[in-house]
Amino acid sequence: MVILGIDPGLAHTGFGAVKFSGKKRSLLACGYIKTPPGEAVSRRLFQIHTDMGKLVEKIKPDFVAVENIFSLVRYPKAGILLGGVLGVLYLTVQQNNIEVVEITPKEIKNSLVGYGSAGKAQVKKAVQALLGVDDIRSFHAADALAVALAAFYRNTARVKR
């Protein structure tokens, strides 16, 4: 099974693909899609859509897991922009007939670190240990890999019931 995890963002959309075979897990790809801050939002969203489409075609995931982001009331514009990013991500995934699951940051942290308020460095360290890699340079990629791992653990827990 291949799971593509996504950490959505307008400036940086992190991605991480993990292959699961029994209890073995291996890193297939990770990184982020960076959009130019000076560009119009519509162009940036189109770039995310295009780049994610190429990534999905290359990786051919069994399903996609997206971090269920939220925006505080103090930052309504950020929430609107992230809503646009989620819209193009969902569109891209649906165009490829792939199932999407959403996972909250708290569930991700609980499943990987055992603590729902864990910091980014703790999550990154857990991801590196679970995948047996020395360094994942981008926090966006590490977060996306954490989403993929948490989705696998959630799916595995449901199958065992």
- pLDDT at residue 160 is higher than 50: no
Instruction: Please give the domain boundaries of the chain with CATH numbers for all domains.
Output: 2-160 (3.30.420.10)
Q: What is the pLDDT of residue 60?
A: 97
For residue 29, what pLDDT is reported?
96
Taking the CA atoms of the chain, what radius of gyration do you get in angstroms? Answer: 15
Question: Which residues pair with residue 64 across a beta bridge?
Answer: 4, 100
Q: How confident is the model over 49-62, as a mean pLDDT? A: 97
For the cut 80, the answer to whether the pLDDT of residue 71 exceeds it is: no
Percent of the chain surpassing pLDDT 90: 71
- Residue pLDDT, tens place only, 125-146: 999 999 999 888 899 999 999 9
| CB atoms inside a 10 Å sphere around CB 34 | 16
Over residues 81-128, the pLDDT tens digits come to: 999 999 999 999 999 999 999 999 989 999 898 877 788 889 899 999
SS (H, E, C) 38-93: CCCHHHHHHHHHHHHHHHHHHHCCCEEEEECCCCCCCCHHHHHHHHHHHHHHHHHH
The reported pTM is 0.92
